[in-house]
Amino acid sequence: MKSSPVTENQPGPQLGHRLAALQSISLRGAWQISAKGCSLVLFCSIPVHTIFDSCPEGNGIEAIAITRDAKYLATISDAEIQEVCIWRWTLAVETPACTLNLLKEYGVQNYLTFNPANNKELVSNSKTQAIYYLWVKGDLLAHSAPRLTEKTFNKLVGKFSQSVFHLNLTQILSATMEGKLVVWDIHRPPSSASASAGFPQIKPCKLVHLQKEGLTVLTTVDRYIVTGDIRGNIKFYDRTLSIVNWYSNFKLSSIRTLSFSKTPAAPPTEKSNYPPDCTLKGDLFIVRNLIIGTSDATVYHLTADGTKLEKLFVEPKDAICAISCHPYQPLIAIGSFCGMIKVWDYEEKKYLFSRVFEKGLGVQSLTYNPEGALLGAGFTEGTVYILDAMSLENQIPEPFKYSRTSVTHISFSHDSQYMATADMYFTVAVYMVVVRNGHRVWEYLARLRSHRKSIRSLLFGVHLDSNEPRLLSLGRDRLLIEYNLLKSCRDNLEILDIHRTDQGNYPTCMVWYPPLTKELFLLICNSGYKVKLFNSTTKMCR
């Protein structure tokens, strides 16, 4: 990522949902704060402070925000009764300066931000409720949460997405998935008034229908109010909510985050290529560079001068379900349900190359062959690919399609002459290398529905008295099955023997025990938290 667009506006918790295991993340200048579980970690290139057990009663952090001067940190817990906390993290204390428990009727508050001009004011929202907070004195955190219904404006409001303080700082704006903005007036008591004079209140005063498309992002930068929507459009408004300019020709997915550079936009020169805005004057539209995150897990950098959009990187947008390490190089292949395979160098922490398969093909299983030259990939709709490990290009003319459901396991024999797969219909399929016209090609051999319940492991091994491969499968039906590869032929997968591994518990996984002795063992774990050793020849438990 380029060094220039250090964020000034908080991207909100959505970015955290795109990072593995992180529940929330927020950026402020050189500071980055991440939330994992119930721990808060503050970074400035390296971790400088960690707050442990920030929400011991909950499952982690739902939303997080930091003030513009980076002095205070605010969190909302992910618990049944959500707790709002403000932390004086620079004092290295382990307890919050103030806390507030929210009512269940407020809904799950999933977005939080500070007033950029006042560290004592915050706003958060759930899908149905916006809340204004004021840190009054000491450990007192007052709040105002007026209920908003369709009768408030006699119009459909829609579900809230994000809320921010208006540029005039006397109002709050809440964006909705109906393309509308709710404008709230802030009524603050005089600073000289005592606590008994009452706390600040917010009241809904206006509903502005900006567009048809749902608003997913709402933020401010310099003199603009900025929105992002589900159609990938980014629009800029002045303080009266009049449109100034927009970006709509990039064909982006739904906008999830907008993060503007900390560096102000450079004044125009003769070489500048800023576009004109859409006002009658047609002034140059000068705005800071920004980072754009979209719902398809793609991150872009937009250079305002010249309107140049650059794709920085693409991450899996769905669950990662497959992972495989290269047998001798520091490479790791990762596959996700969205059909993407990415290969990383885990020593250099560097992304190398990737491939995105056609829509409908979700990666379910991945395995390198023993030489590391091939990568077997099984997909959710039953397709099996054999790929070149270094380019991810197809190594077979057409993918195999002998399964009718998700391919859950792939395994190669020690000499890479055989490949076996298992699917969710309890079926084992075997493929082998043959010589055709002087070329080695992969062909389908046979398949067999050998189990009555899901297959938990699929392993190749080597016979003790020869160098011939052997194939074993282990199912939740407690059966350990070995196949006779030598006697198998086209469409006929022979079984060598069947053994029951448990009586009550069911097996969960199986691996080869290291060859420390002349006797070979299979190591099998079961649902009763037991680990068993089985002689690989007799299948007797040791």
Per-residue pLDDT for 122 more than 50? yes
User: In angstroms, how far is CA 286 from the centroid of its own chain?
Assistant: 33
Per-residue pLDDT for 241 more than 70? yes
The DSSP call for residue 404 is S
Identify the residue with better confidence: 133 or 5. 133
Encoded amino acid at 98, one letter: C
Q: What is the mean pLDDT of residues 187-201?
A: 69
Band (pLDDT 50/70/90 cuts) for residue 519 is confident
Identify the residue with better confidence: 518 or 471. 471
Give the other-Cβ count within 10 Å of 513's Cβ: 16
User: What's the CA gap between 273 and 271, in Å, rounded?
Assistant: 7
Confidence (pLDDT) at 392: 95
Q: What is the mean pLDDT of residues 177-197?
A: 79
User: What's the CA gap between 417 and 109, in Å, rounded?
Assistant: 56
Identify the residue with better confidence: 470 or 55. 470
Task: Look up tokens 């449109």; give the residue.
Answer: 243
Mean pLDDT, rounded, of the chain: 88
Per-residue pLDDT for 14 more than 70? no
pLDDT tens per residue, range 318-365: 889 999 999 999 999 999 998 999 999 999 988 899 999 988 899 999
Per-residue pLDDT for 19 more than 50? no
pTM (2 d.p.):
0.71
Q: What is the mean pLDDT of residues 47-55?
A: 71
Whether the Cβ atoms of residue 75 and residue 85 lie closer than 8 Å to each other: yes
Give the residue ranges of DSSP H helices in 288-393: none
Per-residue pLDDT for 317 more than 90? no
Output the CA torsion sign for 135, 139, 140, 143.
Answer: positive
Task: Give the list of residues 6+ apart from residue 242 with CB closer than 8 angstroms, or none.
Answer: none
Band (pLDDT 50/70/90 cuts) for residue 41 is low
Q: What is the mean pLDDT of residues 489-512?
A: 94
User: What's the CA gap between 363 and 343, in Å, rounded?
Assistant: 14
What whole-number percentage of the chain has pLDDT above 90?
Answer: 69
Could you tell me the two tokens for 480?
């350990």
Q: What is the mean pLDDT of residues 188-217?
A: 82
Band (pLDDT 50/70/90 cuts) for residue 52 is confident
Confidence (pLDDT) at 56: 65
Q: If 0-12 CB within 10 Å is exposed, 13-18 middle and 19+ buried, where does residue 9 land? A: buried
Confidence (pLDDT) at 316: 84
Confidence (pLDDT) at 46: 63
Whether the Cβ atoms of residue 383 and residue 429 lie closer than 8 Å to each other: no
Confidence (pLDDT) at 153: 92
Confidence (pLDDT) at 8: 38
User: What's the CA gap between 255 and 268, in Å, rounded?
Assistant: 28
Confidence (pLDDT) at 349: 87
pLDDT tens per residue, range 251-276: 999 999 999 999 999 888 888 899 99
Per-residue pLDDT for 530 more than 90? yes
How many residues are there in the chain? Answer: 542
Confidence (pLDDT) at 224: 95
The dihedrals phi and psi of 219, each to the nearest 5 degrees, come to -155, 180
Q: What is the CA radius of gyration of the chain?
A: 29
pLDDT tens per residue, range 147-160: 988 889 999 999 99
Band (pLDDT 50/70/90 cuts) for residue 437 is confident
Task: Look up tokens 């077979």; give the residue.
Answer: 396
| Collapsed DSSP state (helix, strand, coil) of residue 12 | coil
Band (pLDDT 50/70/90 cuts) for residue 429 is very high
Per-residue pLDDT for 374 more than 90? yes
Confidence (pLDDT) at 95: 87
Closest by Cα among 80, 93, 17, 12 to 53: 93
User: What's the CA gap between 30 and 35, in Å, rounded?
Assistant: 17
Confidence (pLDDT) at 319: 87
Identify the residue with better confidence: 29 or 289. 289
Confidence (pLDDT) at 15: 33
Give the other-Cβ count within 10 Å of 211's Cβ: 16
Per-residue pLDDT for 9 more than 70? no
pLDDT tens per residue, range 449-486: 999 999 999 999 998 878 899 999 999 999 999 999 99
User: What's the CA gap between 330 and 337, in Å, rounded?
Assistant: 24
Identify the residue with better confidence: 96 or 45. 96
Give the residue ranges of DSSP H helices in 54-170: 150-153
